[in-house]
Amino acid sequence: MALTDVWFLLIAVLWTGYLVLEGFDFGVGMLLPVVGRDPIDRKVTLKTIGPVWDGNEVWLLVAGGATFAAFPFWYATLFSGFYLALLIILVALILRGIALEYRGKLDDATWHRRWDAVIVGSSAVPALLWGVALANIVRGVPMGADHEYAGTFFTLLNPYALLGGITTLLLFALHGAIFLALKTHGEVHDRALKVVPPIGIATVVAAAGFLGWTQTLDGSWITWLLALAAALCLIGGLVASRLGREGWAFIGTAATIALAAATLFTTLYPNVLPSTTDAAFSLTTVNAASTAYTLKIMTWVAVIFTPVVLAYQGYTYWVFRRRLGRSDIPVTAQKANA
């Protein structure tokens, strides 16, 4: 296997890891007013992702950096053509981080409500736009022989991409609801379980439509198998949630996201950004890649440091594995919000 193929695979894994881990973060943020009916329950909800949300975003930084280093022409075309969409995502992620950090600085109901609204909005916007971006990458964009994007922001808002955005929005909301059911007990746990069936049904419909449409673009027997496996994992996760097996339900939705991402990247390969103007203008793993020497150095760096990062993040999840409830909120905080 050529190093260009290895790095395409590694970048696909990095983006998949980001979508799986940040997906439940986005879902928790979107569901904050639904499962957190009072200030204490909202604190419980946010505490479930408090120790891990910033670590989950590291996957985005590494994926973006790896794309820049391994496939600079892909990175350049993406960030010029998708500039406004990616800028909106970046602003949303910045606001989300600020909101999560600053929300608890004051014991004031109005202060909390405003930051809660920011958390909800800044979780929903990236959840939608990441799906739009990924769908456009797979579908292709208008691009000339110079590999310059020839469309506008509204070119990206085509029906296929919008369906992709709706699918990721719903899938992340479902992933977040199941994560909350896994990580909490008491009222937040019960409310999270109640929203799983309606969100789950909507997700099944949207995901089936999106993955089915994807197969009509450039599907193969491998992508059909991956899409079918994603569907089975989604249904299995919903059944496990119904049976009260939150751990298996979470594995089901996580596997659904991972297999859906695998379907998209497998459909994309060997392209990294197809051209809808002329297939000859498409960016591929060959013409978009860095030099062999650069890829060789990157490979050694990845071999050395990736296990360290994975071990540290795994340890973090292990330390903060306990379920949370209202009893875990300090008495002083409960009195302040009474």
Q: What is the number of alpha carbons within 13 Å of residue 301 lying toward its C-beta?
A: 13
Quick one: tokens of 161?
């991409």
Give residue for tokens 């992709």.
164
Q: What is the DSSP letter of 213?
A: H
pLDDT in tens, the chain (338 residues): 799 999 999 999 999 999 999 999 999 999 999 999 899 999 999 999 999 999 999 999 999 999 999 999 999 999 889 999 999 999 999 999 999 999 988 888 899 999 999 999 999 999 999 999 999 999 999 998 988 999 888 999 999 999 999 999 999 999 999 999 999 999 999 999 999 999 999 999 999 999 999 998 888 899 999 999 999 999 999 999 999 999 999 999 999 999 999 999 999 999 999 999 999 999 999 999 999 999 999 999 999 988 998 999 999 999 999 999 988 887 555 544 44
Element (H, E) at 284: strand 283-284
Q: How far is CA 220 from the centre of its chain?
A: 25
Residue 319 structural domain: 3-336
Tell how strand 283-284 and strand 271-273 pair up.
antiparallel
**String of b and e for 15-43 (b: at least 16 CB within 10 Å)?**
bbbbbbbbbbbbbbbbbbebbbeebbbbb
CB 21 within 8 A of CB 51: no
DSSP string, 216-248: HHH--HHHHHHHHHHHHHHHHHHHHHHTT-HHH
Distance CA 97, CA 100 (A): 5
Q: What is the pTM of this model?
A: 0.94
Number of domains in the chain: 1
Residue 298's alpha-carbon distances to 15, 16, 40, 55, 294, in angstroms, are 17, 19, 46, 22, 6
CB atoms within 10 A of CB 222: 13
* Among 226, 191, 180, CA closest to 48: 180
- Report residue 39 as tokens: 């200030």
CA 222, 228, 233: angle at the middle one, nearest 5? 125
